[in-house]
Copies of this chain bind each other. A is one copy, B any other.
Amino acid sequence: MAELIEALAGRRARRAFDPRAVPAETQELLWRAVSVAPSHGNVQSTRLLVAESAAVRATLLAALSEGNRNWAPAAPMLVALGSMPDHEHADSYGEERALWSFHAGIAAGNLMAQATALGLIAHPMAGFDEAGVREAFGAPGELRILVVFAIGFPGPAESLPEDLQKRDQREQRRQPLDRLVATDRWGEQHSQPARDPSRSRRDGGKLGR
Chain A residues engaging chain B, CB cutoff 8 angstroms: 1-5, 7-9, 11, 13, 25-26, 28-29, 31-53, 56, 84, 86-93, 96-110, 112-114, 117-118, 124, 126-127, 130, 137-140, 142-147, 172-175, 177, 180-186, 190-191, 193-195, 197-202, 205-209
- Asked whether A207 and B38 contact (CB < 8 A) given A48-B180, A91-B201, A185-B138, the answer is yes
| Shortest Cβ distance from residue A13 to the other chain B in the assembled complex, whole angstroms | 6
- Bound complex: CA of A7 vs CA of B184, how far in Å? 28
Q: Which residue from chain B places its CB closest to the CB of A36 in the assembled complex?
A: B8
Q: Is A113 in contact with B113, judged by CB distance below 8 angstroms?
A: yes
Of the candidates B113, B144, B206, which one forms a contact with A8 in the assembled complex, judged by CB atoms under 8 Å apart? Answer: B113
Q: Is B29 in contact with A197, judged by CB distance below 8 angstroms?
A: no
Residues from chain B with a CB closer than 8 A to the CB of A9 are 36
- Asked whether A177 and B28 contact (CB < 8 A) given A52-B184, A186-B138, A202-B92, the answer is yes
Of the candidates B34, B36, B43, B198, which one forms a contact with A90 in the assembled complex, judged by CB atoms under 8 Å apart? Answer: B198
- Could you say which of A2, A92, A110, A193 has the most chain B C-beta atoms within 10 Å of its C-beta? A110
